[in-house]
């Protein structure tokens, strides 16, 4: 267990369960909503741009606040922030389920994003503090597999709920997950923190949050208007300037900074974050579009669209724990290079999907290949990120990497306006174009891994901790 743990009575297996349940809230939310978007749009009489707002209202605060969530956990306790974030997420889910109109739904989605920004980086940092060595790699692999499997099974459950109960039910399923995570973490998890973070870098946190908020909010407005007006330009320029000021403040604070810039001297850390941005952006776009196209253009019901994505759960759940353990032995370079390349192949296979395509010959092969690619990359990516920094900065590193992943998804969503504005079979052409772009981006992610990730990162971490 890492320095800074406040109790020696942790139960590692139950801590793993609590972290899986808590983080699954974020993973499930991102995928279960995709099969419900057409029903939500019809329920409120919303336009295509409103569909993007439903997605981005969650992603925007999540991407802007993840860095702060990880830093707060380092100082005030990762267990405490995990419980707080999970409770907020549950309350926000209830608000979404009971929302009388689109405005209240968007308020609930924003609060969900804030809760996820607190629980997600601290679930991973708490695991990182509880396990050591090869057990850490295996635990992270199980954590990643469970989250990915939950995200993949969620469309199936969500599709059934939308068909038989109604779309608000997709938010009710978060309540038992959150309750279980809170109870188990409170009883079995040992608190851990970075004792050296005695003074939280609030100026840096504020500048980073406002800078990311300006950029992501500007992109969200642009995705609605599809043009650059003075407000959008001001938000984007202001966001960039604030992030520049944030870097200046962090450089002056040195080791006391919320995000020590020394982390970026490691080529592996920089490269894996670039890979994260590219891969999760491309994959997130496909996971948003695929069920939407199956429902709107191919005539699938929400349940059928969920069933179509079920192989993702099976493949990722079976393969990710093995890849986590394997990568802990050989390093992340090979799997992190191969995974995005396989994802690119899956996206190209998906260009065979059209309004009259067979599931077995067009949809299923693409889904299976996409799942294999992500299974190769998910667990090794997480462990490689944590291996590239010292233990003191685990919360900061995980928060930053999660922010990068969500920002990639946010930007991808912002770029999908020209696809979502289409209806029926008219969706197919823009969908294919988005798939080709996604494949190119995924190849770029694989190249980034090959050029920056060393052959073995776990030995480096062990040496640093010795």
Q: What is the pLDDT of residues 366-381, one digit of tens each?
A: 999 999 999 888 878 8
Which of 50-59, 124-133, 195-204, 275-284 is modeled with the greatest confidence?
275-284
Q: What is the pLDDT of residue 288?
A: 86
In this prediction, residue 6 carries a pLDDT of 45
**Helix, coil or strand: residue 76:** helix
> How far, in Å, CA of 416 to CA of 429, rounded?
13
What average pLDDT does range 144-153 have in this prediction?
A: 72
Q: Given a cut of 70, is residue 82 above it in pLDDT?
A: yes
Count of residues in the chain: 466
Q: What is the pLDDT of residue 71?
A: 76
- The answer, yes or no, to whether residue 24 has pLDDT greater than 80, is yes
Give the model's pLDDT for residue 464: 45
pLDDT digits over 271-324, tens only? 999 999 999 999 988 988 898 899 988 989 999 988 898 888 778 777 777 776
Least confident range of 98-107, 351-360, 396-405: 396-405
Q: What is the pLDDT of residues 156-198, one digit of tens each?
A: 888 899 999 999 999 999 999 999 999 999 998 888 877 665 4
Percent of the residues in the chain that have a pLDDT greater than 70, as a whole number = 88
Whether 4 has a pLDDT exceeding 80, the answer reads: no
In sequence order, the 6+-apart residues with CB closer than 8 A to the CB of 450 are: 333, 337
CB 89 within 8 A of CB 81: no
Q: What is residue 109's three-state secondary structure?
A: helix
| Largest pairwise CA distance in the chain | 61
Task: Report which of 173, 174, 253, 243 is spatially closest to residue 407, judged by C-alpha positions.
Answer: 243
Q: What is the pLDDT of residue 195?
A: 62
Least-confidence region, from 252-261, 268-277, 375-384: 252-261
Determine if the pTM surpasses 0.85: no
Token readout for 124 is 């991973």
pLDDT of residue 9: 56
Average pLDDT for residues 76-89, to the nearest whole number?
93
Q: Which of 246, 451, 211 is nearest to 337 (CA)?
A: 451
Instruction: Identify the DSSP state of 191.
Output: P
* Among the ranges given (89-103, 109-123, 217-231, 328-342), the one the predictor scored with the smallest mean pLDDT: 217-231
330-366 confidence digits (pLDDT tens): 778 889 999 999 999 999 999 999 988 899 999 999 9
| Top-confidence residue, 331 or 25 | 25
- Of the pLDDT bands very low, low, confident and very high (cuts 50, 70, 90), residue 113 is very high
CB 79 within 8 A of CB 62: no
pLDDT: is 73 or 262 the higher one? 73
Query: For the chain, what is the mean pLDDT?
Result: 83
- The better pLDDT of the pair 70, 100 is held by 100
Q: Closest by alpha carbon to 236, among 219, 248, 254?
A: 219
Given a cut of 50, whether residue 37 has pLDDT beyond it is: yes
């Amino acid at each position: 267990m890492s320095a800074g743990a406040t109790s020696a009575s942790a139960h590692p297996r139950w801590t793993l369960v609590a972290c899986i349940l808590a983080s699954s809230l974020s993973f499930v939310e991102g995928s279960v909503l995709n099969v419900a978007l057409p029903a939500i749009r019809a329920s409120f009489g919303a336009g295509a741009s409103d569909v993007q707002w439903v997605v981005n209202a969650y992603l925007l605060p999540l991407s802007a606040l993840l860095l702060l969530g990880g830093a707060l956990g380092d100082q005030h306790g990762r267990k405490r922030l995990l419980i707080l974030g999970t409770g907020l997420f549950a309350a926000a889910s209830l608000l979404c389920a009971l929302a009388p109109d689109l405005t209240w739904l968007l308020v609930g989605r924003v609060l969900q994003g804030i809760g996820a920004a607190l629980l997600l980086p601290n679930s991973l940092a708490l695991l990182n503090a509880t396990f050591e060595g090869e057990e850490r790699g295996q635990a992270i692999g199980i954590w990643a597999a469970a989250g990915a499997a939950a995200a993949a099974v969620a469309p199936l459950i969500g599709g059934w709920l939308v068909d038989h109960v109604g779309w608000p039910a997709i938010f009710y399923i978060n309540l038992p997950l959150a309750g279980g995570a809170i109870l188990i973490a409170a009883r079995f998890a040992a608190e851990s923190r970075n004792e050296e973070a005695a003074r939280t870098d609030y100026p840096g946190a504020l500048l980073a949050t406002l800078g990311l908020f300006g950029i992501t909010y500007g992109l969200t407005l642009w995705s609605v208007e599809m043009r650059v007006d003075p407000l959008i330009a001001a938000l984007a320029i202001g966001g960039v300037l604030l992030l520049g000021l944030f870097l200046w403040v962090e450089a002056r604070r040195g080791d006391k900074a919320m995000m020590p810039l020394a982390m970026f001297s490691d080529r592996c850390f920089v490269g894996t974050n670039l890979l994260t941005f590219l891969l999760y952006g491309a994959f997130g776009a496909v996971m948003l579009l695929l069920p939407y196209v199956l429902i709107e253009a191919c005539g699938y019901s929400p349940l059928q669209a969920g069933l179509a994505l079920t192989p993702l759960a099976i493949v990722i759940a079976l393969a990710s724990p093995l890849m986590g353990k394997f990568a802990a032995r050989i390093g992340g370079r090979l799997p992190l290079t191969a995974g995005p390349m396989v994802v690119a192949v899956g996206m190209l296979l998906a260009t065979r999907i059209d309004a009259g395509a067979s599931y077995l010959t067009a949809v299923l092969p693409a889904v299976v290949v996409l799942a294999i690619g992500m299974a190769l990359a998910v667990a090794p990516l997480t462990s490689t990120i944590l291996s590239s920094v010292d233990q003191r900065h685990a919360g900061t590193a995980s928060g930053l990497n999660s922010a990068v992943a969500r920002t990639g998804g946010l930007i991808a969503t912002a770029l999908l306006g020209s696809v979502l504005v289409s209806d029926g079979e008219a969706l197919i052409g823009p969908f294919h174009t988005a798939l080709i772009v996604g494949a190119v981006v995924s190849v770029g992610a694989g190249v980034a891994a090959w050029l920056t990730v060393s052959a073995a990162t776990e030995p480096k971490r062990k040496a640093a901790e010795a």
